[in-house]
Chains A and B, each alone.
Chain A
Amino acid sequence: MNGQHNTSGNGQPKEPARRRFLAETLTAAAGALVLAASLGLYQRSAGALPAYACRPPGALPEKQFLGACLRCGQCVRGCPYDVLHLAAPGEEIPTGTPYFVARENPCRMCEDIPCLKACPSGALNRSLATVYESSMGLAVLLDHENCLNHLGLRCDVCYRACPLIDQAITLEVQVNRRSGVHTLFIPTVHSDHCTGCGMCEYACVLDNAAIKVLPLSQARGKLGKHYRLGWEEKEKAGGSLIPEQLKLPVRRPEELP
């Protein structure tokens, strides 16, 4: 009703102008929507952190980190060892986020954690009590065939390089079945102490490190929800869960008729 009245009152030119305005606005909106939607999809496909990249100490879990980090690089500037980089376009790491590559330049675990202190956003979490509590990743001795200790030699370099020697990495003794008389000293990482600093990977003497720091999501297996560990359940219950062991009669062949 109102529209009709307007048209007749103001003559013809108003309609095409308004229509053009509407069309232009819709085009703009549609164009922007297409761009935004492709961006959303692109982000989905480029989700996870590649295995060679670690986040700085105290970084929130990856998904939260991507919502928290402002890509400002103050952590990068704070690091006295130039360990950290901001990902540039073309790298597999979300653009602008800080990371380090353990094999090139591992984290030295500064007691005062200057990278974390510089972070204004909380993407590097201030509640991290000490640098030893950080979990930038988890070291895994990946190659049991080329690791020199596995071959029966005494390399021990990763073990000695670890700032948490005898806690994060221990040498576990095994029989050397090849010689039959010697001992293998197997570098063994313990997830409750390893911070993922990457000193071990950096120090590994092989051309391609046998021990590597991986993101936790890739390094750790996960039990199915339905698994119960009998010995833990037993401890929780304060005794055996089965009330009485069932004694079955022993049947031997000679007892058969």
Chain B
Amino acid sequence: MTARIPGREAIRKKGMVQAAKWLALRRLSQLAILQLFLLGPFAGVWIVRGSFSASMTLDFLPLTDPLTALQSLLAGHALGATALIGALIVAVFYLLVGGRAYCSWACPVNLVTDAAAWLGRRLDLKKSIGFNNTIRYWLLGFILLLAPLTGAVVWEWVNPVTILQRGLLFGIGLGWAVVAAIFLFDLLVVRRGWCGHLCPVGAFYSLPGFLSLLRVRAARRDQCTDCMDCYSVCPEPQVIRPALNGGDKGSPVILSGNCTNCGRCIDVCPQDVFQFSQRF
């Protein structure tokens, strides 16, 4: 028996478009965001200025990464009004669409870690050392503690996430090494190691996700044939079980803030068990 390739059956049953819809939209969104940032410096079309940390769209819409803003506040800086308003807008937005939608729809690191996960599945690298996925919350805590202790936004010295984000927009220097390290770590050491276990930025964005309106629902879970394709492709597979296999009493909604709302489970399920819905 050859290994089952997740998504194959869905393609056969639903067709390519339905079986890769959300994946394609997500890639489109990730690339479009980068394009918008680069349109100014490269084509002189100034729609968005700045980067993922903080930006200004069409001279009136400020957006700020709330985690960076929080660190700056904790470091003792009275943050400018533009940055504060921007952080508020972003926070409200992710309260609606699910915090870690940031990870799957915006953050370019996702392209790297998705590639590592895809290659790992293709090469059938099942073995990966066990690793506690709460470490990211501890890291998040310590990062927030380091800001007031040092009076600086210290995390930004080494944050691989912004190193790649900024690197793509302003020049990356030796940052490639960091990105390569993440890729290899994910591929060879811990599957979904960075985004699924370590990344404190993702941990931070998971917090609004625990309350957010937009969620994935295993609406037709009675149709599930236990093919496990959704578990194979999900970047946070532990979030599916309560909704899909939680029994009749459990909610069919994926409630964990760590669901990235990537919609890949919706794509690959041959039975169309999942769909986007609101929390209630």
Contact = CB atoms under 8 A, between A and B. Distances in A.
Interface of A: 24-25, 27-29, 31-33, 35-36, 39-40, 42-44, 46, 63-64, 66-74, 76-78, 85-91, 94-96, 118-123, 126
B191 to A, nearest CB: 17
A151 B169 CA distance: 46
Contact of B83 (A39, A43, A122): A122
Contacts of A70: 53-54, 64-65, 68-69, 72, 83, 153
Contact of B135 (A31, A40, A42, A126): A31
Given A70-B83, A88-B170, A36 B156 contact: no
Nearest to A23: B132
Interface stretch (B3-11, B142-150, B216-224, B262-270): B142-150
> Which 4 residue pairs of A and B lie closest in terms of their CB atoms, listed nearest first?
A88-B173, A90-B174, A67-B75, A36-B142
B242 interface: no
Contacts of A63: 151-152
A76 B170 contact: yes
Interface in B160-193: 162-163, 166-167, 169-175, 177-178
Interface residues of B, number: 58
Nearest to B76: A67
Contacts of B56: 74, 118, 120
Given A28-B132, A77-B50, A43 B157 contact: yes
B158 A72 contact: no
Contact of A86 (B68, B141, B146, B166): B166
B82 interface: yes
B170 A120 contact: no
A42 B152 CA distance: 13
Contacts of B167: 88
Contact of A71 (B76, B79, B156, B174): B156
Given A72-B51, A89-B174, A119-B80, A28 B153 contact: no
B50 A39 contact: no
Given A67-B152, A85-B170, A88-B167, A121 B51 contact: no
A76 to B, nearest CB: 7
Interface string B111-140: 000000000000000000000101100110
A121 B154 contact: no
B79 A73 contact: no
B49 A77 contact: yes
B49 A95 contact: no
A120 B62 CA distance: 8
Given A69-B153, A71-B162, A85-B170, A36 B145 contact: yes
Contacts of A74: 49-50, 54-56
Contact of A118 (B49, B75, B151): B49
Nearest to B170: A86
B72 A67 contact: yes
Given A32-B135, A39-B157, A94-B157, A120 B166 contact: no
Contacts of B162: 71, 96
A19 to B, nearest CB: 14
B245 to A, nearest CB: 20
Contact of A73 (B51, B149, B172, B174): B51
Interface string B229-254: 00000000000000000000000000
B77 interface: yes
B151 A95 contact: no
Given A66-B151, A72-B54, A74-B50, A122 B77 contact: yes
Contacts of B79: 68, 121-122
A121 to B, nearest CB: 5
Nearest to A68: B77
A76 B55 CA distance: 12
A79 B162 CA distance: 22
B86 interface: yes
B15 interface: no
Contacts of A89: 163, 172-175, 177-178
A173 to B, nearest CB: 46
Given A46-B157, A72-B50, A73-B166, A88 B80 contact: no
A28 B65 CA distance: 26
27 contacts: A24-B132, A25-B132, A25-B134, A29-B135, A33-B138, A43-B157, A44-B150, A66-B152, A66-B153, A67-B72, A70-B72, A70-B153, A72-B64, A73-B166, A74-B54, A77-B49, A88-B173, A89-B163, A89-B172, A89-B175, A96-B166, A120-B54, A120-B56, A120-B86, A121-B72, A121-B80, A122-B80
B206 to A, nearest CB: 15
A120 B64 contact: yes
